[in-house]
Amino acid sequence: MHIHILGICGTFMGGLAALAREAGHRVTGCDANVYPPMSDQLRALGIDLIEGFSPDQLALKPDVFVIGNVVSRGNALMEAILDAGLPYTSGPQWLAQEVLQGRHVLAVAGTHGKTTTTSMLAWILEHAGLQPGFLVGGVPMNFGVSARLGAGKSFVIEADEYDTAFFDKRSKFVHYRPRTAVLNNLEYDHADIFPSLEAIETQFHHLVRTVPSSGRLVVNAREEALQRVLAKGCWSEVQRFGTRKEEPGCLRARGEPHAFDVLRGGLKIARVEWGLLGEHNQLNALAALAAAEHVGVAPELAAEALGRFENVRRRLELRGEAGGVKVYDDFAHHPTALRTTVNGLRRRVGLDRILAVFEPRSNTMKLGTMKAQLPWALEEADLSFCHSGGLGWNAAEALAPMGELAIVSDDIDALVKAVVKAARPGDHILCMSNGSFGGIHDKLLQALGKKA
């Protein structure tokens, strides 16, 4: 089969392209911005890429066009496909029909931690010899790739609640029909498509409806929104995790995030010792362990795998050190994720200074929906620097409660100068964005090197 992917350079669609190529299909694709690293990864797989959405691409005559959710009505190529009456489908629908059919799908959903938890779960199954397939919205360092078909029965997928395509406004995850579904947490996000938290809860319940009675829901017991989701109706076994005190059947952690016992009720069933920090990762581990257990992986073996888990790129990833200053990269963008990431680094570096450098780049943050939460999100940082380019709201005003501890600039080069001027040997610069952030990491390292 020849498939032509519109919006191929997105994380999800790029992973789908890799899976299709591995399955033996001919794959071509296009996007508005074809640039490294995704373009290099795809071309290395033998996938031809086209810049832009010219209607001339109809001449490729693929068997089907696979449409990414970045494509909307008015797109020149999409309009040509519709006018010609040619076959098209969404990425999640194609994946469900061509890859997931007949597999035991383990889907990881939640506002935060999807990529990390999906990576943990895939690694646990790999360590157990199950040879899983997976599709992750990042690059797990244990594997070095974001997607593979796998030779085993299981397929682990990051299950996003964002909409499927311009012609299918359901969340992506309703297409996957998992037998094991992780509901990791649930907060308001994606303000560009969801009017309220209740609307997202409805989509999560649509996911719950697709899990068979022989399936398992792995649910964070701390999240009130998830309890409301289950209250709408539940037809599967539920394994809760994350309680702070003993509850029958519920998984919980006892100990510090880097070294803790896993308990079911009052019984210790495993111990995890690893290099990851933060209570959020402790909860992610409990979720991954509970999901893996559903496909037969004993908790002790899962904990052993977690001890060898190397995390995901762009998750507190050290990009380099110059002039005695360390520069980190992290994907955080939602205020809760910003706060969790700063806290994770704080636990690692103790009293050393943390300089938080961030850009509110996600659609939700660009709308200013959560701007009032930013001072709370950054309160454990010693200094904060915000890139305000492209915002429709006043970042300086939103960060005013932080006084002189927050600096705002709409120019990345100017922001780099401000950060470097403030930095001292022994500091930790934490860059947070869900984009490339204009190459700020390398710019900082170069400037810090010259300063030294």
Q: What's residue 450's pLDDT?
A: 86
Please tell me the number of Cα atoms within 13 Å of 308 on its side-chain side: 13
pLDDT of residue 347: 83
Looking at residue 319, its pLDDT comes to 92
> Quick one: 249 exposed, middle or buried, by C-beta within 10 A (0-12, 13-18, 19+)?
exposed
Mean pLDDT of the chain: 93
Q: What is the pLDDT of residue 316?
A: 79
Q: Pick the residue with more confidence: 337 or 429?
A: 429
Tokens of 168: 């299918």
Give the pLDDT of residue 138.
82
Would you state the pLDDT for residue 206?
97
Look at residue 244 and tell me whether its pLDDT is greater than 90: no
pLDDT per residue over 211-224, tens digit each?
999 999 999 999 99
| DSSP tag of 140 | B
Lowest-confidence segment of 34-43, 147-156, 320-329, 349-358 by average pLDDT: 34-43
In angstroms, the CA 284 to CA 307 distance is 14
Domain ranges of the chain: 2-91, 102-306, 317-451
Considering only residues 33 and 115, tell me which one the structure prediction assigns the higher pLDDT: 115
- CA neighbor of 357 nearest in space, from 344, 341, 368: 341
Overall average pLDDT of the 324-338 stretch: 88
Residue 415 has pLDDT above 70, yes or no: yes
Mind listing the pLDDT tens digit for each residue in 339-356?
888 988 998 899 999 999
- State the alpha helices, DSSP H only, in 294-439: 299-306, 335-349, 363-366, 374-377, 395-398, 412-422
Residues 6+ away with beta carbon under 8 Å from 379: 339
Residue 381 has pLDDT above 80, yes or no: yes
| pLDDT tens for each residue of 382-399 | 999 999 888 888 989 999
331: left (phi over 0), alpha (psi -120 to 50) or beta: alpha
Average pLDDT over residues 76-81: 98
Res. 331: pLDDT tops 90: no
First-to-last alpha carbon distance for the chain, in angstroms, is: 56
Domain 317-451 class in CATH:
alpha beta
Give backbone dihedrals phi and psi of 324, rounded to 5 degrees, phi first.
80, 10
Q: Which residues contact 295 (CB under 8 A, 6 or more apart)?
A: 104, 106, 125, 130, 154, 180
pLDDT for 294 equals 98
pLDDT band at residue 139 using 50, 70 and 90 as cut-offs: confident
Q: What is the largest CA-CA distance in the chain?
A: 65
Per the CB < 8 A criterion, the answer to whether 125 and 154 are in contact is yes
The reported pLDDT for the residue numbered 76 is: 97
CA distance 224 to 217: 16
The answer to whether 2-91 and 102-306 have equal CATH topology is no
Q: Is the pLDDT of residue 36 over 70?
A: no
Residue 358: which of 420, 293, 431 has the closest Cα?
431
What's at 426, amino acid-wise? G
Cα 10 to its chain centre, rounded Å, is 12
CATH 3.40.1190.10 fits domain 102-306? yes
Assess contact for 424 and 352: CB atoms under 8 A.
Answer: no
Please work out, in degrees rounded to the nearest 5, the angle formed at the alpha carbon of residue 431 by the alpha carbons of 315 and 401.
120
Both tokens of 147, joined, read: 């997607």
Please compute the mean of the pLDDT values over residues 389-418 and round it to a whole number.
91
DSSP assignment of 238-254:
EEEE--SS--TT-EEEE
Copy the structure tokens of residue 94: 């194609």
Name the 3-class secondary structure at 225.
Answer: helix
Least confident of 107-111, 366-370, 412-416: 366-370
Distance CA 113, CA 116 (A): 5
Over residues 46-53, mean pLDDT: 94
Contact 431, 358 (CB under 8 A): yes
At 147, is the pLDDT very low, low, confident or very high (cuts 50, 70, 90)? very high
What would the two tokens of residue 119 be? 């990576």
DSSP code of 437? G
Query: In angstroms, rounded to a whole number, what is the distance separating the alpha carbons of residues 317 and 431?
Result: 10
Domain formed by 2-91, architecture: 3-Layer(aba) Sandwich (3.40)
Share of the chain above pLDDT 90, in %: 75
DSSP 357-370: EE---SHHHHTTTT
DSSP state, 85?
A: T
User: Which residues, in sequence order, are CB contacts of 129 under 8 Å at separation 6+?
Assistant: none
Residue 333 has pLDDT above 90, yes or no: no
pLDDT exceeds 70 at position 442:
yes
Q: Give the pLDDT confidence score for residue 390 in this predicted structure.
A: 83
Q: Which is more confidently placed, 331 or 62? A: 62
Is 239 a residue whose pLDDT tops 70? Answer: yes
Give the model confidence (pLDDT) of 269-323 as tens digits: 999 999 888 888 999 999 999 999 999 999 999 999 999 998 877 777 889 999 9
pLDDT of 152 > 70? The answer is yes
Percent of the residues in the chain that have a pLDDT greater than 70, as a whole number: 99
